[in-house]
Amino acid sequence: MTAHLSDSDRQALRLAHDLREELRRALPHVPAAPSISPFVDPGGRPSVLVRMDSDTARALMALLGEPRAVQTGPTPLPQQLPQQLPPPLPQQRRADGTVPPPVPELFVQR
């Protein structure tokens, strides 16, 4: 079945499989498992695309943030919080269809 695949293709498939298994072990309580798609980038490097719903993304961020929180302690609050948050901007999509993360205005120097 994989006889026609290049070495990079096989490595990308293996990478996707290994990442899928690691995420399954790290996030056993998440109902919707992330979708892991293997591909070979234009430079010929094995790569993966990860797609997940918001609950899974939050669970993964919490898991990734745990070691950092232990090492650095809690994130300090800014000196002064704004009285009112600005209205949300309409979501602008990139050429690949993804939405860029918002820039937190709480921490922007004025």
Tokens standing for 3? 């006889």
Domain ranges of the chain: 1-72
Please state the pTM of the whole predicted model: 0.57
Asked if residues 47 and 40 have their Cβ atoms less than 8 Å apart, the reply is yes
Query: What distance in Å separates the CA atoms of residue 80 and residue 45, rounded to the nearest whole number?
Result: 46
Q: pLDDT of 63-82, one tens digit each?
A: 888 766 565 666 666 666 56
Asked if residues 63 and 35 have their Cβ atoms less than 8 Å apart, the reply is no
Q: pLDDT of 21-49, one tens digit each?
A: 999 998 888 888 899 999 999 999 999 99
